[in-house]
Amino acid sequence: MLVFSNCKINLGLRITEKRSDGFHNLQSCFYPVGWGDILEAIPSKTFAFSSSGLSIPGELRTNLCVRAYDLLKADFDLPPVQLHLHKLVPIGAGLGGGSADAAFTLRLLNDQFKLGLSIAQLEEYARLLGSDCAFFIQNRPLYCLEKGDVFQDITIDLSGYHILLVYPNLAISTAEAYAGVRPQQPETSLFNQLQAPIDAWCETIHNDFEDSLFPQYPVLAQIKEQLYEAGAVYASMSGSGSTIYGIFQAPVVLPNQFLNYSVWQGKL
Ligand SMILES: C[C@@](CO)(OP(=O)(O)O)[C@H](O)COP(=O)(O)OP(=O)(O)OC[C@H]1O[C@@H](n2ccc(N)nc2=O)[C@H](O)[C@@H]1O
Ligand SMILES: Nc1ncnc2c1ncn2[C@@H]1O[C@H](COP(=O)(O)OP(=O)(O)O)[C@@H](O)[C@H]1O
């Protein structure tokens, strides 16, 4: 079985408080985007994992796909498979690529071996693998709370818009990015602000990580500015960076400044 493991962007991101478990509570809307990896599972005599494409830091056995397989294997009589991941989504990019691979592995194994797990059960397994992993089980626009793993329905439909993602070949560690933020209880409701037309978002919808990361990496603010100059209706950093995205009314001619970066453009 073959699946496409797409990434996400954050529409707004507020870090509201540090929790007693060391994690942070947040408010954000996660929105699926078409840039993705390719994952295949073939029944085999013994379990094996391999990857191609972008190289993934860390040992193979710590890959989130392997950890997802091991998690289900502990509870089910899972047959061995040969898992292959073709990695295309940049790493340390704020796009949740690794979390998506983990969630798609859970979904694939559930479907391929008819484990009968419900969405809620798959989300429970996903939470054990990473904070933003559970989102990719439903994989639809959702308002996210707490660690980013508790969801509320939200009506946001950006279909018809185009998105340009710019990864400036700069990996930012999520843990380090969180260590640099000053959590704050917001005075306004992100949920309500997201209901306003997208033209209003550049004045209201903010990613709190930009405050600490833009001064540290000026190229990020520069890319955001360049996306607005190219005609974006809204531009922002995704997650803990370093990807900056722009949302446009129509396909964009790639500005020359982005030619040395990894970019992806498509429909939302
Ligand atoms: C920042 C966000 C926003 O969507 O996305 P990315 O930039 O990673 O895509 C997520 O909160 C990232 O979630 P995820 O990448 O799954 O993080 P995890 O693996 O669970 O945690 C990595 C580290 O980040 C910190 N962390 C993560 C989530 C959270 N709510 N509070 C935290 O403080 C912790 O230090 C943790 O050890
Ligand atoms: N399949 C995978 N794809 C990407 N990263 C992975 C994967 N498995 C484990 N990782 C680890 O997860 C971290 C990056 O996570 P990723 O989701 O790509 O970035 P981000 O948190 O910025 O969205 C790295 O430390 C990487 O080694």
pTM of the model: 0.97
To test the pocket of ligand 1, the residue of 132, 133, 190 to mutate (highest count of ligand atoms within 8 Å of its CB) is: 132
Tokens of 195: 């209901």
157 a catalytic residue: no
pLDDT at 153: 98
pLDDT at 150: 98
User: Does the annotation list 175 as a binding residue?
Assistant: no
Helix and strand tally (H, E) in the chain?
Answer: 9, 10
Q: CA quadruple 123, 127, 129, 130: dihedral positive or negative?
A: positive
Alpha carbon of 182 to ligand 1 centroid (Å): 15
pLDDT at 149: 98
Q: Does the C-beta of 58 come closer than 6 Å to ligand 2? A: yes
Catalytically annotated residue among 37, 101, 132, 208: 132
Q: Tell me the pairing of strands 162-167 and 262-267.
A: antiparallel
Give the model confidence (pLDDT) of 42-99 as tens digits: 999 999 999 999 999 999 889 999 999 999 999 999 999 999 999 999 999 999 999 9
The C-alpha atoms of residue 169 and residue 243 are separated, in whole angstroms, by 9
User: Does the annotation list 266 as a binding residue?
Assistant: no
pLDDT at 158: 97
User: Does the annotation list 90 as a binding residue?
Assistant: yes
First to last CA, the chain: 26
pLDDT at 135: 98
The C-alpha atoms of residue 186 and residue 235 are separated, in whole angstroms, by 21
Parts of the chain with a pLDDT under 70 = none
pLDDT at 128: 98
pLDDT at 205: 98
Torsion angle defined by CA atoms of residues 210, 215, 216 and 217, in that order, rounded to the nearest 10 degrees: 70
Nearest-CA residue for atom 23 of ligand 2: 96
Give the model confidence (pLDDT) of 198-218 as tens digits: 999 999 999 999 999 999 999
Tokens of 227: 């996306």
Alpha carbon of 117 to ligand 1 centroid (Å): 25
Domains and CATH numbers, the chain: 2-153 (3.30.230.10), 162-267 (3.30.70.890)
Helices 218-229 and 209-216, interaxial angle, to 10°? 110
Q: Does the C-beta of 148 come closer than 6 Å to ligand 1? A: yes
- Give CA 216 to chain center in angstroms: 22
ipTM above 0.95, yes or no: yes
8 a catalytic residue: yes
